[in-house]
Amino acid sequence: MARILVVDDSPVQALTLRRMLEKHGHEVLVAENGRLGIEAARQEKPDLILMDVVMPELNGFQATREINRDPGLSAIPVVIVSTKDEPIDKVYGERQGASGYLIKPPTEADLLRTINTLLTSA
């Protein structure tokens, strides 16, 4: 299956996503903030990134923008997974380069559908 990087400062949220993904055979890497997420993406080259928005040091919108501007990382799909649920948040995430946007907590079905769609089209 896929190598997926979860970037989230909440240990509970990261563990929840990890369990859902590992149950379906995915390898999961975790980073605690946007800056560490970018570093992990550069080192590990995941197939997909799940990105929280509200985090210390570098928020998810900033990290997504930086990933999409990096020629070595720009092909990696980034899915924003956030409690920010206003339509403008989704639009802003897409403008930063996000390939998808899920509201926390995502259902397992929505999460897997989004991941499978993006990995199949890549």
List, in sequence order, every beta strand (DSSP E) within the chain. 3-7, 27-31, 48-51, 78-82, 100-103
pLDDT score of 121? 83
- For 45, the 3-state DSSP assignment is coil
Measured between alpha carbons, how far is 52 from 21 in angstroms, rounded to an integer? Answer: 16
Q: Provide the percentage of residues in the chain whose pLDDT is more than 90.
A: 97
pLDDT score of 122? 66
pTM to 2 decimal places:
0.97
All domains of the chain in start order, with CATH: 3-121 (3.40.50.2300)
CB 27 within 8 A of CB 17: no
Q: What is the mean pLDDT of residues 101-113?
A: 96
